[in-house]
């Protein structure tokens, strides 16, 4: 099993959610710690760049503030000093029947995702409903970023969205021994990004819903927009209908509200994270609106805010 | 000796005496102890909420290399519990388990990992019983068997304790009312979440047991170890290690303390047990979930004419302090408001959850939340200003309440003035989504009656003075609240030296005289008074010796003590003179609260030698679309009597505000499928730095006639008004009532939805379950001006026919 | 004991316990050189032992506390190359040449740092259990940002929980130390 920062994996090892025979630390790979490029050419982030470095990296903040913001909203400061951007993309799906100690899980009865054969959230379900909990994946996907994976069969670059699967257990389709080595973010080229995160507290907590937005305008109207949500399914959930709806429209309050309505439709929070899931479902719309509003106002003056 | 006017060290914002140790990391907490040959202990806990134990087989565990001892329930059969009436726990259960986390077996091994592995080899066969997970279920007859034996509870269903009192003529009270209102409320349970996990280390040498523990009550742990291990108390020594936070959560004797003690006796080696964070959630003893029903009669002008309470407490699996907790849900309402007729019915039930007990405010934050909100609603009904409605009902200083509680100093008015003025409550901007709320509260400065009824002092202090200086000995336990600093300041003040010159030995049962421990906000008042007495006696010895040397006769008051001098001599010289004159110097002080309770059974819960008072205004922003609440600022004024150290008082007040906000908005000991829903610090939400608003603290000093230098309590009372102030502010902001704690955004939206549909604009419990509280004990109220206590009061009771002294 | 326990990752059947000593001997141990508080320390540790455990159990540096051992409370914060990290989630085998600072590496009782002084003076430590972590996180903050605003202080320390103080006095102490450092 591979480990980068270990901020998510180590607690899970202590709770016996994984039982690998061997851990392979990636931290010695110095070349995966670099950020290269700029807003004009696009940026390449080594997988071991820490979330704190990403959040504070001036070229990155300038190029894709929404991505940097998302990195800066992950967990808490000491964990962002260790947790990596690669780790956050690959972060294990979460469920409050699963992210518990061995003894607790044994007591309630083991679940599908580890040691058991039923889903405790949806007992009739043949699949696992653990939640995708990456803060950075939504913006990266919305941006059309790519990741490079290196394995015994060589190197391949693919869209960030490609490896994710809508399955709480097999949420990431990497080939055996494949390592995510870098994330490539496209040139800024007028693209605006934003991320809105929902959590109970202002720090430490994982997202219980999140919305990442990337969009480009011609000065008046949206040329294209992509919206991706975190915390509402077993994978980062895209909302293509909302993106299509936005194309060609001015970002007025009404348009934003209508797009958010569309975006929230595919979101399916279940009762396996903090706070009530019906409420979380309602909040998705608000989060998408917030993200769109923030993306719209990144550049003062051009876009309609009526 | 006359009270001196000018105080030298008392009242100054000095650093705590243990500050340097704590900021350099050298303070030794229980888990920091590492003794030679020390073994590590882990405890096997029940995975089932309710089950009979059929068999326990630890054969395999005993065979594991590195395992030095295994204990099962048969090794520790004697029951214990903090209250003499609730001896219902075992260090390791052998008959049945009553909650997920109930201890069943224990292992001591050379490594913690080996102990842990050995636990997994212990085979326990269980016969599952139907778990009881709510108050409503516990009120019904169980399908199989009650959680505790009927022989112990002597109650139907899963009831633990019932109380029913009527003070004065309630019927007449309601008859005199122009308006009567009823409300129901629910306060969810929550836990202390100290940063330090409980930890204990035991050694057994020369037939003497020593236990270091992160406990708030060395004396009660001492008693419990002696009882369960069948050792005379003089063979047991309990030492309070530097303490990493209690808040009431380390006020019971715990299984792991007994287990490591027995393991040390069995193995002859030191044994340590540190609970995991998950186990800390199971140790619990936290805030009881309480359902409440309250009915109040008022005149048109808002004067209360009568009040009737019903409460139902979810006690969890064991008694703990619960027999007292149920009283506390009905007792202290009358020390903030003057209520001429008062009825209180309470019940505590057993459920298959981690046992509840005392958390900061013990049993009173729940009814305080309900009471303050209930009065807000009455004010709305009558079209009155809620502050003025509350204010006209405030108790007056030096009066006796309808349920016989003697109120002495009372700064309710001053506290109210402070927070109203500072917050601009009256001039607040009325805008949807923004609101301010006001609430008051009171709390005890120590319980007037001890847990074990006897005539001995509640606190004792010994003072040793010799040619090397001063040492104070006291059983009081420093838990972070600053009790060591208070002792040092009191002694320093009386002896005219600096607090740094007072050496302290505290919370060590071999060395220190008994103090009952750090709970019920008793230490400043009681240990402070004991220290004051000891120091004044010592001062007299020093003055006499110096006077003799100076040739002063008769009036010794001209011998000045202060600034390191006694009369013409330095303090050190005075110590030498006194030692030469009297021989070995020591003095003692003690404090025993006077008998204060009324002439009825159960009057022991509630009386305190003094009550602290608080008032709070809270400003918030609430989003009607999301239901999210952001607290902007809290103004809190606390009548502490006198701030012996204002820095520490402010710290206690701010910490109380913080904990109140956590309870109001997020903290929840929730259960699902028979077990704790989220026993982790990630999922049990406690506020972080960025969730905490600005707090403005005002210390009000009323100089209580019986407190040391006039001091009362600081550590618990200020939590109480914060929670109802938040809910009142929410009503101010959005016009809705959330009659339930915690206030989650979903509940806010539900209430708004009800409001938009023209239904009552609230979210909360729909009703209150039917409970048979039995026949009430009817008590005639006292004359409100009757301030007699102790001998005088007892004599009065003896005279009055038909009244029994309790 | 929220500990790594790689060799015991799977629950063993009772008969397998006879093999436990064998398993124990098989634990991979590494001789490591760590730089802690400016001193080089050589230790032989099982590879799965966390920095928290090594500091407290092997090096006697018990100033570093723990509240959950799962990365949820911040109590075990140490500085690694000047930045706060959680020692319960760090493996010494991954650290190598990094400079580790614990509370014992700040000032001692004889010479407190301005932050320690301010914490002591303002009562920012009550039970004191979270204090070492708070001091280290604040030390890192003030090195990077000598004039932090209140909000900056709150955000920088937001990974560290405290249950006693309501954070009020901690924020004030960091402000005081920052001011004194600038003017002193």
- C117 in helix, strand or coil? helix
Residue A246 is part of a domain; what is its CATH number? 3.30.390.50
What tokens appear for B775 in the block?
């026949």
Please, which chains are in contact with B (at least 3 CB pairs closer than 8 A)? A, C
* Cβ-proximal residues to B320 (8 Å cutoff; 6+ apart), any chain: B81, B82, B83, B86, B252, B285, B355, B356, B357, B358
Question: Residue A306: pLDDT above 70?
Answer: no
Question: Residue A197: pLDDT above 60?
Answer: yes
Question: Residue C169: pLDDT above 70?
Answer: yes
Q: Which residues of B touch C63 (CB under 8 A)?
A: 24-26
Residue A156 is part of a domain; what is its CATH number? 3.30.465.10
Return d(Cα B96, Cα B128) in angstroms, integer: 10
CATH T-level topology, domain C114-183: DNA polymerase; domain 1 (1.10.150)
Looking at the structure, do residues A240 and A162 belong to the same domain, yes or no?
A: no
Spans of all domains in chain C: 6-105, 114-183
Q: Which residues of B touch A282 (CB under 8 A)?
A: 749
**HSE, side-chain direction, 13 A CA sphere, residue C96:** 5
Do residues B71 and B105 make contact, with C-beta atoms less than 8 angstroms apart? yes
- Residues belonging to chain A with any Cβ–Cβ distance to chain C shorter than 8 Å: 6-7, 10-11, 13-16, 18-20, 23, 25, 27, 52, 75-79, 81-82, 101-102, 202-204
Q: Which residue of C has its CA nearest to A25?
A: C94
Could you tell me how many helices (H) and strands (E) chain C has, helices first? 6, 5
pLDDT, mean over chain C: 89
Does the distance separating the beta carbons of C20 and B64 come in below 8 Å?
yes
* Cβ-proximal residues to B308 (8 Å cutoff; 6+ apart), any chain: B170, B174, B294, B295, B296, B342, B343, B344
Do residues B191 and B281 make contact, with C-beta atoms less than 8 angstroms apart? yes
**Chain A CB within 8 Å of residue C86 CB:** yes
Do residues B251 and B217 make contact, with C-beta atoms less than 8 angstroms apart? yes
Q: Which residue of B has its CA nearest to C120?
A: B19
pLDDT score at B605: 93
* Cβ-proximal residues to A121 (8 Å cutoff; 6+ apart), any chain: A95, A97, A129, A270, A271, A272
Residue B301, class by beta-carbon neighbours within 10 Å (0-12 exposed, 13-18 middle, 19+ buried)? exposed
Does the distance separating the beta carbons of C6 and A204 come in below 8 Å?
no
Does the distance separating the beta carbons of B749 and A279 come in below 8 Å?
yes
Return d(Cα C139, Cα B484) in angstroms, integer: 28
C-proximal residues of B, 261-290, CB under 8 Å: 274, 276-277
**Chain B CB within 8 Å of residue C77 CB:** no
Q: How many domains are there within chain A?
A: 2
Name which of B461-475, B485-499, B590-604 the model is least confident about. B590-604
Return d(Cα B353, Cα B98) in angstroms, integer: 7
- B260 in helix, strand or coil? helix
pLDDT score at C22: 40
pLDDT score at C6: 47
For residue C155, which phi and psi values (nearest 5 degrees)? -70, -40
* Cβ-proximal residues to B46 (8 Å cutoff; 6+ apart), any chain: B93, B97, B98, B99, B100, B101, B102, B103, B104, B126
In B59-207, DSSP assigns E strands to 67-72, 96-97, 103-109, 123-128, 159-167, 179-187, 199-205
| Structure letter (DSSP) for residue B783 | P
Taking residue C38's Cβ as centre, other Cβ atoms within 10 Å add up to 9
User: What residue has token string 């930890």?
Assistant: B199
Does the distance separating the beta carbons of C128 and B688 come in below 8 Å?
no
Question: Quick one: which of B563, B528, B529, B569 has its CA closest to B547?
Answer: B569
pLDDT score at B780: 95
Q: Which residue of C has its CA nearest to A28?
A: C94
Looking at the structure, do residues A139 and A52 belong to the same domain, yes or no?
A: yes
Question: Residue B783: pLDDT above 50?
Answer: yes
pLDDT score at B800: 77
pLDDT tens readout for residues B245-261: 999 999 999 999 999 99
Instruction: Place C26 in a pLDDT band, splitting at 50, 70 and 90.
Output: low
Q: Which residues of B touch A76 (CB under 8 A)?
A: 688
Do residues B56 and B47 make contact, with C-beta atoms less than 8 angstroms apart? no
pLDDT tens readout for residues A3-37: 999 999 999 999 999 988 889 999 989 999 999 99
Does the distance separating the beta carbons of C69 and A82 come in below 8 Å?
no
Strand-pair partners of B464? B471, B586
Q: Which residue of B has its CA nearest to A285?
A: B626
Looking at the structure, do residues A179 and A69 belong to the same domain, yes or no?
A: yes
Looking at the structure, do residues A138 and A203 belong to the same domain, yes or no?
A: no
pLDDT tens readout for residues A231-271: 999 999 999 999 999 999 999 999 999 999 999 998 889 99
What tokens appear for B71 in the block?
């204990």
CATH T-level topology, domain C6-105: Ubiquitin-like (UB roll) (3.10.20)
B225 to chain A nearest CA, in Å? 29
* Cβ-proximal residues to B295 (8 Å cutoff; 6+ apart), any chain: B174, B180, B181, B182, B307, B308
Query: What was the ipTM of the complex prediction?
Result: 0.97
The last residue of one of the domains, among A185, A203, A226, is: A185
Looking at the structure, do residues A164 and A247 belong to the same domain, yes or no?
A: no
Taking residue A300's Cβ as centre, other Cβ atoms within 10 Å add up to 7
Residue A119 lies in a domain: no
Do residues B780 and B600 make contact, with C-beta atoms less than 8 angstroms apart? no
Q: Which residue of A has its CA nearest to B628?
A: A200
Instruction: Place C10 in a pLDDT band, splitting at 50, 70 and 90.
Output: very low
Of C2, C129, C158, the CB nearest to B29: C129
Question: Residue C5: pLDDT above 70?
Answer: no
Do residues A165 and A173 make contact, with C-beta atoms less than 8 angstroms apart? yes
Return d(Cα B227, Cα B81) in angstroms, integer: 10
Question: Residue A183: pLDDT above 70?
Answer: yes
pLDDT, mean over chain B: 96
pLDDT score at B738: 98
**Chain B CB within 8 Å of residue A283 CB:** yes
Looking at the structure, do residues A78 and A225 belong to the same domain, yes or no?
A: no
Angle value at C-alpha B706, between B705 and B708, nearest 5 degrees: 105
Q: Which domain holds residue A207?
A: 192-296
Residue A106 lies in a domain: no
Looking at the structure, do residues A34 and A70 belong to the same domain, yes or no?
A: yes
Looking at the structure, do residues A159 and A39 belong to the same domain, yes or no?
A: yes
pLDDT score at B4: 53
CATH T-level topology, domain B19-27+456-591: Aldehyde Oxidoreductase; domain 4 (3.30.365)
Question: Quick one: which of B534, B544, B487, B709 has its CA closest to B5?
Answer: B709
A-proximal residues of C, 41-60, CB under 8 Å: 50
Spans of all domains in chain B: 19-27+456-591, 33-129+195-245+250-283, 290-449+599-763
Return d(Cα B430, Cα B433) in angstroms, integer: 9
First to last CA, chain B: 34
* Cα dihedral value B270, B275, B276, B278, nearest 10: 160
User: What residue has token string 């008004």?
Assistant: B721
**Chain B CB within 8 Å of residue C154 CB:** yes
Looking at the structure, do residues A174 and A272 belong to the same domain, yes or no?
A: no
The predicted model gives C155-184 an average pLDDT of 96
Question: Residue A300: pLDDT above 80?
Answer: no
Q: Which residues of B touch A276 (CB under 8 A)?
A: 744, 746
Question: Residue A305: pLDDT above 60?
Answer: no
Q: Which residues of A touch B749 (CB under 8 A)?
A: 279, 282
* Cβ-proximal residues to A93 (8 Å cutoff; 6+ apart), any chain: A113, A128, A130, A131, A132, A133, A168, A169, A171, A234
Return d(Cα A26, Cα A5) in angstroms, integer: 8
Looking at the structure, do residues A167 and A198 belong to the same domain, yes or no?
A: no
What tokens appear for B717 in the block?
């009372």
pLDDT score at B211: 98
The predicted model gives B749-770 an average pLDDT of 98
What one-character-per-residue DSSP string does chain A give?
-EESS-TTHHHHHHTTS---S--EE-TT-GGGG-EEEETTTEEEEETT-BHHHHHH-HHHHHH-HHHHHHHHTSS-HHHHTT-BHHHHHSPPPB-TTTSS-HHHHHHH--BTTBB-SB-SSSTT-SS--PBP--SSHHHHHHHT-EEEEEETTEEEEEETTTTB-S-SSS-B-PPTT-EEEEEEEPP-TTEEEEEEEE-SSSSSPPPSEEEEEEEEESSSSEEEEEEEEESSSSSPEE-HHHHHHHTT----HHHHHHHHHHHHTT----SSSSS-HHHHHHHHHHHHHHHHHHHHTSSTTTS---
Looking at the structure, do residues A271 and A156 belong to the same domain, yes or no?
A: no
Residue A126 lies in a domain: no
- B394 in helix, strand or coil? strand
Return d(Cα B303, Cα B176) in angstroms, integer: 10
What tokens appear for B375 in the block?
């009065």
Question: Residue B2: pLDDT above 50?
Answer: no
* Cβ-proximal residues to B492 (8 Å cutoff; 6+ apart), any chain: B8, B9, B498, B499, B501, B502
pLDDT score at C70: 97
Looking at the structure, do residues A169 and A47 belong to the same domain, yes or no?
A: yes
Of B674, B683, B688, the CB nearest to A96: B683
Among the four given CATH numbers 3.30.2320.80, 3.40.50.150, 3.30.365.10, 3.40.50.800, the one describing domain B290-449+599-763 = 3.30.365.10
pLDDT tens readout for residues C45-55: 988 899 999 99
Residue A304 lies in a domain: no
- C174 in helix, strand or coil? helix
Q: Class of the B33-129+195-245+250-283 domain?
A: alpha beta
Taking residue A59's Cβ as centre, other Cβ atoms within 10 Å add up to 16
Q: Name the residue with higher pLDDT: B124 or A176.
A: B124
Does the distance separating the beta carbons of B666 and A202 come in below 8 Å?
no
Crossing angle, helix C168-183 and helix C131-144, to 10 degrees?
Answer: 40
Do residues C140 and C102 make contact, with C-beta atoms less than 8 angstroms apart? no
**Chain B CB within 8 Å of residue A257 CB:** no
pLDDT tens readout for residues B289-329: 999 999 999 999 999 999 999 999 999 999 999 999 999 99
Residue B82, class by beta-carbon neighbours within 10 Å (0-12 exposed, 13-18 middle, 19+ buried)? buried
What tokens appear for B153 in the block?
């509870």
A233 to chain B nearest CA, in Å? 19
Does the distance separating the beta carbons of C1 and B112 come in below 8 Å?
yes
Chain A with chain B: Cβ pairs closer than 8 A: 65
B-proximal residues of C, 91-130, CB under 8 Å: 102-104, 106-109, 112, 116-117, 119-123, 125-130
What one-character-per-residue DSSP string does B725-758 give?
HHHHHHHHHHS-EE-EES--HHHHHHHHHHHHTT
Taking residue B414's Cβ as centre, other Cβ atoms within 10 Å add up to 16
């Amino acid at each position: 099993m591979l480990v980068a920062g270990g901020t998510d994996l180590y607690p899970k090892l202590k709770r016996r959610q994984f039982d690998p025979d061997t851990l392979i630390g990636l931290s010695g790979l110095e070349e995966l710690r670099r950020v290269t490029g700029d807003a004009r050419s696009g940026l390449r982030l080594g997988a071991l760049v820490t979330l704190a470095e990403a959040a504070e990296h001036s070229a990155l903040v300038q190029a894709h503030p929404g991505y940097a913001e998302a990195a800066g909203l992950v967990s808490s400061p000491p964990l962002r000093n260790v947790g990596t951007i690669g780790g956050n993309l690959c972060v294990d799906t979460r469920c409050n029947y699963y992210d518990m100690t061995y003894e607790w899980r044994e007591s309630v009865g083991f679940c599908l995702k580890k040691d058991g054969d039923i889903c405790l959230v949806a007992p009739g379900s043949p699949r696992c409903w653990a939640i995708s909990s990456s803060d950075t994946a939504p913006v990266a996907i919305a941006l059309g970023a790519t990741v490079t994976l290196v394995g015994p069969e060589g190197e391949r670059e693919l869209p960030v969205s490609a490896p994710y699967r809508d399955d709480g257990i097999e949420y990431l389709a990497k080939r055996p021994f494949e390592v995510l080595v870098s994330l490539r973010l496209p040139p800024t080229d007028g693209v605006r990004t934003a991320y809105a995160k929902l959590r109970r507290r202002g720090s430490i907590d994982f997202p219980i819903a999140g919305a990442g937005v990337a969009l480009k305008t011609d000065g008046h109207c949206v040329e294209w927009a992509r919206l991706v949500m975190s915390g509402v399914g077993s994978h980062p959930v895209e909302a293509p209908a909302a993106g299509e709806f936005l194309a060609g429209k001015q970002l007025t309050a009404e348009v934003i509200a209508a797009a958010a309505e569309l975006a929230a439709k595919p979101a399916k929070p279940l009762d396996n994270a903090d706070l009530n899931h019906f409420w979380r479902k309602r909040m998705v719309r608000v989060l998408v609106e917030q993200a769109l509003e923030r993306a719209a106002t990144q550049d003062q003056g051009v876009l309609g805010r009526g | 000796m006359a009270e001196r006017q000018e105080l030298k060290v008392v009242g100054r914002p000095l650093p705590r005496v243990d500050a340097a140790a704590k900021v350099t990391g050298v303070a030794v907490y229980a888990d920091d102890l590492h003794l030679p040959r020390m073994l590590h202990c882990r405890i096997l806990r029940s995975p089932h909420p309710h089950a009979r134990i059929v068999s326990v087989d630890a054969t395999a565990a005993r065979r594991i290399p590195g395992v030095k001892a295994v204990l099962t329930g048969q090794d520790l059969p004697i029951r214990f519990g903090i209250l003499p009436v609730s001896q219902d726990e075992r260090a390791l259960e052998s008959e049945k388990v009553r909650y997920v986390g109930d201890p069943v077996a224990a292992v001591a091994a050379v490594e913690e990992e080996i102990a842990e592995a050995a636990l997994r080899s212990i085979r326990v066969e269980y016969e599952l019983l139907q778990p009881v997970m709510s108050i409503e279920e516990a009120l019904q007859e169980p399908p199989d068997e009650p959680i505790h034996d009927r022989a112990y509870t002597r109650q139907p269903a899963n009831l633990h304790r019932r109380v029913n009192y009527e003070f004065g003529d309630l019927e007449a009270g309601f008859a005199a009312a122009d308006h009567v209102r009823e409300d129901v409320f629910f306060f969810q349970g929550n836990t202390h979440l100290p940063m330090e996990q409980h930890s204990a280390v035991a050694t057994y040498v020369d037939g003497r047991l020593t236990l270091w523990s992160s406990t708030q009550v060395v004396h009660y742990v001492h008693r419990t170890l002696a009882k369960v291990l069948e050792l005379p108390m003089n063979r047991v020594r309990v030492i309070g290690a530097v303490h990493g936070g209690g808040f009431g959560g380390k006020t019971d004797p715990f299984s792991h303390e007994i287990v490591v003690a027995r393991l040390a006796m069995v193995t002859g080696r030191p044994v340590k047990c540190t609970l995991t964070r998950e186990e800390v959630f199971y140790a619990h003893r936290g805030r009881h979930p309480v359902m409440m029903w309250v009915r109040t009669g008022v005149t048109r002008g808002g004067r209360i004419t009568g009040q009737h309470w019903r409460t139902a407490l979810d006690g969890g699996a064991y008694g703990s302090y619960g027999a007292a907790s149920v009283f506390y849900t009905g007792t202290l309402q009358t020390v903030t408001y003057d209520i001429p007729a008062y009825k209180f019915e309470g019940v505590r039930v057993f459920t298959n959850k981690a046992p509840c007990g005392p958390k900061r405010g013990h049993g009173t934050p729940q009814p305080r939340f309900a009471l303050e909100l209930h009065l807000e609603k009455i004010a709305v009904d009558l079209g009155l200003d809620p502050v003025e409605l509350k204010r006209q009902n405030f108790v007056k200083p030096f009066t006796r309440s309808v349920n016989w509680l003697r109120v002495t100093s009372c700064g309710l008015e001053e506290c109210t003035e402070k927070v109203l003025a500072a917050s601009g409550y009256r001039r607040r901007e009325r805008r949807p989504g923004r609101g301010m709320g006001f609430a008051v509260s009171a709390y005890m400065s120590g319980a007037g009656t001890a847990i074990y009824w006897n005539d001995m002092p509640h606190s004792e202090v010994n003072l040793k003075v010799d040619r090397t200086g001063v040492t104070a000995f006291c059983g009081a336990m420093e838990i972070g609240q600053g009790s060591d600093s208070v002792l040092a300041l009191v002694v320093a003040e009386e002896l005219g030296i600096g607090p740094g010159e007072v050496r302290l030995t505290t919370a060590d049962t071999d060395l220190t005289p008994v103090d009952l421990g750090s709970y019920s906000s008793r230490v400043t008042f009681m240990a402070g008074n004991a220290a004051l007495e000891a120091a004044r006696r010592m001062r007299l010895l020093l003055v006499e010796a110096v006077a003799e040397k100076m040739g002063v006769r008769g009036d010794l008051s001209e011998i000045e003590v202060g600034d390191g001098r006694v009369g013409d001599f330095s303090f050190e010289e005075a110590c030498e003179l006194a030692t030469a004159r009297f021989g070995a110097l020591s003095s003692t002080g003690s404090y025993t609260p006077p008998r204060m309770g009324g002439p009825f059974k159960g009057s022991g819960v509630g009386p305190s030698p003094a009550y602290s008072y608080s008032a709070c205004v809270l400003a918030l922003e609430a989003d009607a679309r999301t239901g999210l609440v952001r607290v902007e600022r809290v103004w809190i004024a606390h009548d502490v009597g006198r701030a012996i150290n204002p820095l520490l008082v402010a710290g206690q007040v701010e910490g109380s505000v913080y904990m109140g906000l956590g309870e109001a908005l997020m903290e929840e000991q929730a259960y699902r499928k028979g077990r704790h829903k989220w026993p982790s610090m990630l999922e049990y939400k406690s506020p972080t730095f960025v969730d905490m608003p600005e707090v403005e603290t005002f210390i009000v000093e009323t100089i209580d006639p019986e407190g040391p230098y006039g001091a009362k309590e600081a550590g618990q009372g200020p939590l109480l008004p914060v929670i109802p102030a938040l809910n009142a502010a929410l009503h101010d902001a959005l016009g809705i009532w959330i009659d339930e704690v915690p206030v989650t955004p979903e509940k806010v939206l539900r209430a708004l939805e009800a409001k938009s549909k023209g239904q009552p604009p609230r979210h909360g419990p729909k009703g209150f379950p039917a409970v048979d509280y039995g026949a009430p004990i009817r008590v005639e109220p006292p004359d409100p001006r009757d301030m007699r206590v102790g001998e005088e009061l007892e004599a009065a009771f003896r005279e009055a026919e038909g009244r029994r002294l309790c | 004991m929220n500990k790594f326990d790689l060799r015991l990752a799977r629950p063993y059947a009772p008969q397998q316990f006879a093999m436990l000593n064998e398993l124990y001997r098989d634990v991979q141990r590494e001789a490591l050189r760590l730089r802690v508080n400016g001193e080089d320390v050589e230790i032989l540790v099982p590879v799965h032992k966390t920095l928290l455990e090594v500091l407290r159990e092997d090096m006697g540096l018990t100033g570093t506390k723990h509240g959950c051992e799962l990365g949820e409370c911040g109590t075990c914060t140490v500085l690694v190359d000047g930045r706060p990290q959680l020692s319960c989630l760090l493996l010494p085998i991954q650290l190598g040449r990094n400079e580790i600072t614990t509370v014992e590496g700040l000032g001692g009782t004889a010479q407190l740092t301005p932050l320690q002084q301010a914490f002591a003076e303002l009562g920012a430590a009550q039970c004191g259990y979270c204090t070492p972590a708070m001091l280290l996180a604040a030390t890192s903050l003030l090195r990077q940002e000598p004039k932090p605003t209140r909000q900056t202080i709150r955000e920088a320390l937001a990974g560290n929980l405290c249950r006693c103080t309501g954070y009020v006095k901690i924020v004030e102490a960091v402000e005081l130390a920052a001011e004194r450092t600038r003017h002193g």
